[in-house]
Structure 1
């Protein structure tokens, strides 16, 4: 779903398929691990972008 912004809650529900009652920051940890695997520079990600105050989006590099 390139260029679509997804909240942490949406990601939790879509990926783990359950309502998570705890802290949604676990998504941040998983995003960090994904970035380590696919990004050249994790400080300036090209593929997985953070949308402050909402969640994340996947972008195809130009």
Structure 2
């Protein structure tokens, strides 16, 4: 995700690239892993600022906001 920061990455792309898994069916496993990442990285995982969901497409990594 860091290499494609700011661009949408589909669940299928993550399955194929990260896990070298040929997509055939439910891609919800990606959602579970993203949820775990948010729990570890986000100040408030319920309102993520770093890993954003792009409805119907996938996810994108946002640049951290300056504080």
TM-score, normalization by structure 2: 0.86
Instruction: Let me know the Cα RMSD of the aligned residues.
Output: 0.9
Which ranges of 4 or more aligned residues in structure 1 deviate by more than 3 Å? none
Match of 1:13, SS?
helix
2:46 counterpart residue number: 43
Unaligned runs of 5+ in 1: none
Unaligned runs of 5+ in 2: none
Q: How many residues align?
A: 62
TM-score, normalization by structure 1: 0.92
